[in-house]
Structure 1
Amino acid sequence: KEPIAYLGGVGMLIGLTVGILASIGRLQSEESSGLALTWLLGILGGGAIACFIGLADDLFDIKPRQKILGQVFAAVVLLLAGVAPSLYHITNQLNLSLPYNVETLLEVMIVIFFVLGATNSLNLLDGLDGLCARKFVITK
């Protein structure tokens, strides 16, 4: 059996951090940098939480409930930073009139579903002898 690399997520987090730091330097000169900076820091924070949950799962084999709670926490960090889809344009095109709290609840559910789906699908691919890394290289 081949050895398993546990730090792939850390490498991805380092790459994400370098990209965000480069973007922050560029955003300093733009007028609308406040929202973009908040989004970038939220993405970095959520990514860091997801990375450490994945690393803890690899090293300590944490329970599924703990892993899902950590992933939901990463999604909450994104939501607190304002990283969420706006359903206004969709509901407007469909002539739907949803109450604000229902629209907000749907946006929150979409972000949580996306984070849980993305992290768990990568986790499943990663368990197949490095398939995740190959898919990552192919898509880049």
Structure 2
Amino acid sequence: MTLYDKFYLNDGTTLPHVGLGTVHIQGGKGIHQVHSALDVGYRVLDTATGYNNEGMVGEAVRSSSIPREQLYVSDKLPGLAHQYDKAIDLIQETLYRTGLDYFDKYLIHWPNPKEGLYVEAWQALVDAQKYGLIKTIGVSNVFT
């Protein structure tokens, strides 16, 4: 597997196999680290509200020499925003923080089945995709 190998999602979206997780990357140093990763061929950047670095990821994308349409930015919905209205609001707010027009991939970070709000959260992602805020949607950390 290389940085350039791709896989296909159920909706036909193609994504590179390898991406840069940004869980502990922040600030100006983080922008430099993201640019370094992009320089060696990374094209997927993964962030989440809980990482407290969405603004840095957005700035790294905007200040990169790589065209936006060649990058795949992934973000995740935290459990505190699984109610429909909260989810829609948070997706919009996160886009404002990143300074991006859309996310390439947006995931329910953890479906939190004991709370029972994952259906509402999923509907919010479906609708945000219809509104053009997200290109493809999914769920991560599905193990209970």
Largest Rg, 1 or 2: 1
Higher strand share: 2
Higher helix share: 1
